[in-house]
Structure 1
C-alpha cells in the first residue's frame, strides 16, 4: 500500500487507511451482500468489519489487499457474465433470423406451388 503525498489524504479526500470504495456508508443489508460477494471470490470478511472499514477504522495491509483483490475479482466475474450474456443474445438473434428466413422461404415455396396448381387447373380442358 502506498502512502499519499499529502498526510491529510489524497486528491479525493480519502485517508491512506480508508477503503477505496464509493465514499458512502453501507447499511447492514448492503454490507452483508458485499460480504457474500467477497466470499464467492474467496475473501472472507464479515459484514460488521466491512462497515467498520468504511467508517474509517484502521485497516491492515492484508485486509486492504484482500478487499482490493475481491473488488477486482468481482469486477472480472461481472465482465465475464456480461460477455457471456451478450454472446448468448447474439446467438439467439442469429437463430431467430435464420428461423424467420426459413419461414419466409417455405411461405414463398407454398405460394409458388399454389400458383402452379391454380394455373394447371385453369389450363386443363375439362
Structure 2
C-alpha cells in the first residue's frame, strides 16, 4: 500500500515494484479522475511536477500506443492529498472493493494487476 502523492500513480507504482520480481499492468481507463481533467490536460494545463515525475520514471514504464497522451500524462500528476494504491490478492479484490463502496468510497476502483512478465516494469494501456 502506498499513498499517491508527489510522484503520481505511476511514480508510486514504480516504487512498489522496485527490486521485485513482478511488474504491473495499469488500465488507464479504469483510473477515476475529477470531472474536467481531460479537457485541462488536452490543453496542456499540467503541473510542472508531472513533467519531472515522467522524466524520472519513464525508464520503468511502457505506454501502449492506444493510450492517449493526456491520459498517460495525468498518471504522473503529483498530488498533495492523493488516494491510496493497494496491492491485493486477486481472490480478495471483489470483496474489498465492495466494502469500500459500501463505506462510501464510491471512487475506489481496480486499476490494474500485478504481472510476472516484465519484472520491475509497468505497462500502461487504455
User: Which TM class, normalised by the smaller chain length?
Assistant: under 0.3
Where relative contact order (Cα < 8 A, 6+ residues apart) is larger, the structure is: 2
TM-score norm. by structure 1 comes to: 0.24
Q: Which has the higher helix share?
A: 1
Q: Which has the larger radius of gyration?
A: 1
Structure with bigger strand share is: 2
